[in-house]
Structure 1
Amino acid sequence: MSFLANTPKPPYYAVIFSSTRTEGDNGYGAMSDKMVELASRQPGFLGVESARGADGNGITVSYWESEEAIRAWKEHALHQVAQRRGQSEWYSKYALRVAKVERDGLFEL
Structure 2
Amino acid sequence: MTRIANTPEPPYYAVIFTSLRTAEDNGYGLMAERMTELAAQQPGFLGMESAREALGVTVSYWDSLEAIQRWKQQVEHREAQRLGRSEWYAAYRVRVARVERDYGFGE
What TM-score comes out, normalization by structure 2 length?
0.96
Shift of 1:24: 2.0
Tell me the CA shift for residue 108 of structure 1: 1.3
1:105 is displaced (CA, Å) by 0.5
| Off by >4 Å, runs of 4+ in structure 1 | none
RMSD of aligned residue pairs (Cα, Å): 1.1
1:3, distance to aligned residue in structure 2 (A): 2.1
Deviations 1:46-93 (A, max 9, x none): 00000001x3x1100000000000000000010000000000000000
Q: Is 1:4 matched with 2:8? A: no
Query: Structure 2: 5+ residue runs without aligned partners?
Result: none
Contact 1:3 1:50 in 2 (8 A): no
Q: Paired residue for 1:68?
A: 66
- Among 96, 103, 106, the alignment partner of 1:105 is 103
Residue number in structure 1 paired with 2:48: 48
What is the identity, as a one-letter code, of the residue corresponding to 1:27? G
Q: C-alpha distance in 2, partners of 1:99/1:88?
A: 26
Percent sequence identity over aligned pairs: 62
Aligned residue pairs total: 107
How far does residue 2 in structure 1 lie from its aligned partner after superposition?
A: 4.4
Give the TM-score of the pair, scaled to structure 1: 0.95
Partners of 2:48 and 2:63 in 1: CA distance? 13
Q: Any stretches of 5+ residues in structure 1 without a counterpart?
A: none
